[in-house]
């Protein structure tokens, strides 16, 4: 049975979600505040996590940060009324797998949960050489000339995707559907921000470029010479 950690301080709404998930066969541990949710995470290590953002004692963003310090791969879905661009971008930068706006459809939530759960058995931690850089995908660390850059979870996953398809076009649609499971205004903006950051991190090796293919996607290009 899939173990779900659910943080939601609106009791009425939480009851509806909990009963719906139980009906679908999930085991749900529901908490009204972030502190109790974090203690539960440490004890039970759930298979998937659903978080509101505005919650007592420890808000959803801070809870997700603490979880990501301990677990890079458990799916985290934010389900919240905090939907400004800065909030959505912050959620994904922390390491969210998904970001849903309240009020949300229970059927859609369950569909997204199943989508993320399918990916959890396919996690690998390879190390890569990227020009003069070394990239450790497990530690989310990019290194060159004894200098290391600690990447966020989302930055690391995006770089890994581009490396695995180096010198090939990776479409925006493919990236968004695989890494965010969404393709809308918020996530398109978020993707552009993350691409800009990766370009900055990789600028020490001039053989490496992340090229934009207009209206299509991106190419990680590594040349012998320029």
Predicted confidence (pLDDT) per residue in 116-146, tens digit: 888 776 445 678 999 999 998 877 899 999 8
- Domain match, 43 and 73 both: yes
Task: Say whether both 10 and 111 belong to one domain.
Answer: yes
Highest mean pLDDT among 8-22, 113-127, 211-225: 8-22
User: Which domain does 216 fall in, by range?
Assistant: 127-222
Choose the final residue of a domain: 60, 95, 121: 121
Q: What is the pLDDT of residue 123?
A: 44
197 shares a domain with 168: yes
Name the domain count of the chain. 2
Report the pLDDT value the prediction gives residue 118, as an integer from 0 to 100. 80
The answer to whether residues 66 and 95 belong to one domain is: yes
Average pLDDT over residues 81-86: 92
pLDDT mean over 219-226: 79
Residues 116 and 131 in one domain: no
pTM over the 0.95 mark: no
- Domain end call among 121, 151, 170: 121
- Domain endpoint, select from 102, 121, 140: 121
- The residues near 107 (Cβ < 8 Å, ≥ 6 apart) are none
CATH number at residue 142: 1.10.10.10
How far is C-alpha 139 from the geometric centre of its chain's CA atoms? 15
Query: Which tokens sit at 27?
Result: 């085991």
For residue 93, what pLDDT band results from cuts at 50, 70 and 90? Answer: very high
| C-alpha torsion angle, residues 90, 194, 154, 190 (rounded to 10) | 50
Residues 8 and 107 in one domain: yes
| Residue 156 shares a structural domain with residue 196 | yes
Do 55 and 117 sit in the same domain of this protein? yes
Closest by Cα among 172, 165, 169 to 215: 172
- 224 pLDDT above the threshold of 60: yes
Which has the closest alpha carbon to 43: 14, 70, 9, 15?
A: 70
């Amino acid at each position: 049975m899939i173990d779900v950690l659910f943080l939601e301080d609106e009791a009425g709404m939480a009851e509806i979600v909990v009963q719906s998930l139980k009906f679908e066969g999930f085991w749900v541990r529901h908490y009204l505040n972030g502190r109790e949710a974090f203690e539960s995470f440490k004890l039970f290590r759930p298979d998937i996590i659903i978080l509101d953002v505005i919650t007592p004692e420890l808000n959803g963003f801070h809870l997700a940060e603490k979880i990501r310090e301990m677990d890079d791969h458990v799916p985290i879905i934010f389900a919240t009324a905090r939907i400004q661009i800065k909030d959505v971008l912050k959620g994904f930068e922390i390491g969210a797998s998904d970001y849903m706006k309240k009020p949300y459809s229970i059927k859609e939530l369950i569909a997204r949960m199943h989508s993320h759960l399918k990916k959890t058995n396919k996690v690998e931690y390879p190390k890569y050489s990227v020009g003069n850089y070394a990239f450790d995908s497990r530690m989310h660390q990019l290194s060159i000339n004894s200098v290391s850059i600690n990447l966020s979870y989302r930055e690391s996953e995006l770089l890994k995707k581009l490396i695995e398809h180096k010198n090939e076009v990776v479409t925006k649609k493919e990236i968004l559907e695989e890494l965010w499971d969404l393709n809308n205004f918020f996530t398109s903006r978020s993707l552009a921000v993350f691409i800009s950051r990766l370009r900055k991190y990789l600028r020490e090796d001039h053989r490496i470029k992340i090229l934009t293919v207009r209206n299509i996607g991106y190419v990680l290009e590594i040349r012998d010479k320029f």
